[in-house]
Structure 1
Amino acid sequence: MDRLLSILNDIGVPYAYDHFAEGEAPDPPFLCYLLPGSDNFSADGKVYRKFTEVRLELYTDFKDSEAEQNVEDVLDAAGIFYNKSETWIDSEKLYEVLYAFEMPTDGDSAGKTGNEMKEAENVYEEK
């Protein structure tokens, strides 16, 4: 997942996998990312392409459109198709903006998004 880490670095805010240690969270904005599952392409009981689900969570203490735009600009530049949602976490007094997407995990699909790989698998060529 070197590509994912490169994307996180390009966003330019502190990040951690899943959560920061108790008492060590930086001031917002910051990111947490999770890899909660997979959505692999398979047939005949064999996995042909592996895709990792990615949840990128942006935390801010106010509705920060500039921080959101920064994340979206980096994802767009990387060719990532994402879905976005947001919620207010009252107990933390933070907004969470969630970006959900997939990334390929196999070597020969490096540099391509999950949707690009799936589309490539479904290309029909008339002969």
Structure 2
Amino acid sequence: MRKKEIEEMLEELGIPFRYHHFTQKEMENIELPIIVWNCGKSSNFFADGIVYQKIQKLDIELYTDQKDWDLEERLEHILDAHGIAWEQTASEWIQTESMWEALYEMEV
């Protein structure tokens, strides 16, 4: 899954999103909820000394001002509709930022 495909998928949720981070200036003008997504390392499938399938790890971080069960369910439905196997690995209050984070991890 390429950047364009990921962003088209995230647009379906209808909230602001950025790759890696929002700038401090952007955060002054944007209200929660927001999404930050990041592609970290790969987890490719190898055989016979070559890469048979490229597999990219994708993290989607949903930030809200309060726990938003409905928005999380909408995001999960979008991931399901795109055939993405996901796992929510965190759902916690970030005291220093005064916001909730729901972290979804997957491979694409």
In the superposition, the TM-score normalised over structure 1's length comes to: 0.77
Map Cα deviations across residues 71-117 of structure 1 (whole Å, 9 max, x no partner).
111111111110002121110011110010011xxxxxxxxxxxxxx
Equivalent runs, 1:61-72 vs 2, <5 Å: 61-72=65-76
Q: Percent identity?
A: 37
**Tell me, which stretches of 5 or more residues in structure 1 are unaligned?**
104-127
**Tell me, which stretches of 5 or more residues in structure 2 are unaligned?**
none
Runs of 4+ in 1 over 6 A off after TM superposition: none
Cα RMSD, aligned residues only: 1.0
1:83 maps to amino acid: E
Equivalent runs, 1:4-43 vs 2, <5 Å: 4-25=6-27, 26-43=30-47
In the superposition, the TM-score normalised over structure 2's length comes to: 0.90
CA distance in 1, matches of 2:82, 2:15: 17
Partner of 1:93: 98
Largest Rg, 1 or 2: 1
Partner of 2:55: 51
CA distance in 1, matches of 2:77, 2:107: 17
